[in-house]
Amino acid sequence: MSELDERIWRAWTATAWLHEPRPPASPAELDSVEQSIGRPLPDTFRELYQRHDGGSWLGGNCVLYPLQADGELSIAQASATHRGWGWPVPDELVLFGNDGNGDPVGLWSPATATRPIIVKIGAIFEPGCMGVIGEDLNAFLRAWTAYHLLLPDRETTTAGLDALQLPDHLRFDDPDDETFADIVEWASPRTTGSPSDPYEARLTADDVRRIALAG
């Protein structure tokens, strides 16, 4: 049974010209990275990376790091790399990509089990620098895909929005930050009320810990 929401995959397939995926990763490569970061990856991550080992998606608005790479931006190294650059990345956060503008995105994955929420860090360089942008990987990818498929020529991306089953009332012609917040709530009903924009939310690590433990 697939753990990855097939609506996302169908939306990406319908808008293939917007994406530059990498080749698949092997189960052995995934096992190796889990050993490197010292914690297991959710089944959704493993399935996604066995389809494509990261890549550039949605016209460069979603960058998923490869599992391992010679450079500094890989799932195995990205959290430590960003800490070295001065980003306040909590120990529980496994960075796996960025928003296309350099703000990192990561999986909240502490030693004890919590909800696998997805967190974005803003370029604030203070403890209060995070927002919750998905209740899990599927929710993050649904929201991110829906919002960025509203941005190009709608005539060419409608098939992708239909594949995601994005409701008509969220298909704004001129999407903005409020649109994104509404789409995040649609995609992540269990985290409704958790601020998604790190520049407004300014969540600290303790704030995120409480959200991850709730519900």
With 0-12 / 13-18 / 19 or more C-beta atoms within 10 angstroms meaning exposed / middle / buried, residue 176 is exposed
Q: What percent of the chain has pLDDT over 70?
A: 97
How confident is the prediction for the chain on average, in pLDDT? 92
- pLDDT greater at residue 69 or residue 169: 169
- Residue 165: inside a domain: yes
- Return the number of other C-beta atoms located less than 10 Å from residue 26's C-beta: 13
> For 64, how many CA atoms within 13 A lie in the half-sphere containing its CB?
23
* 3-class state of residue 38 by DSSP: coil
Distance CA 87, CA 129 (A): 9
- Residue 53: inside a domain: yes
pLDDT digits (tens, 9 = 90+) for 4-39: 899 999 999 999 999 999 999 999 999 999 999 999
> What is the pLDDT, as a whole number, of residue 183?
94
Domain that holds residue 168: 6-213
55-64, 86-95, 151-160, 168-177: which has the minimum mean pLDDT? 151-160
Shortest CA distance to 104 belongs to which of 123, 126, 132? 123
- Residue 1: inside a domain: no
CATH label of the domain that carries residue 189: 3.40.1580.10
* 3-class state of residue 175 by DSSP: coil
Contact 185, 148 (CB under 8 A): no
Structural domains counted in the chain:
1
Please name the residue ranges forming H helices in 151-197: 154-164, 177-187
- Residue 63: inside a domain: yes
> What is the pLDDT, as a whole number, of residue 193?
63
> What is the pLDDT, as a whole number, of residue 192?
63
- Residue 45: inside a domain: yes
pLDDT digits (tens, 9 = 90+) for 87-98: 999 999 999 999
Contact 142, 187 (CB under 8 A): yes
> What is the pLDDT, as a whole number, of residue 2?
74
pTM passes above 0.85: yes
Average pLDDT for 119-146: 96
| 215: confidence class by pLDDT, cuts 50, 70, 90 | low
* 3-class state of residue 62 by DSSP: strand
Shortest CA distance to 137 belongs to which of 51, 37, 15? 51
Contact 148, 180 (CB under 8 A): no
pLDDT digits (tens, 9 = 90+) for 115-131: 899 999 999 999 999 99
Instruction: Please tell me the chain's helix, strand, coil percentages from 3-state DSSP, rounded to the nearest 5.
Output: 45, 15, 45
With 0-12 / 13-18 / 19 or more C-beta atoms within 10 angstroms meaning exposed / middle / buried, residue 30 is buried
Average pLDDT for 72-91: 94
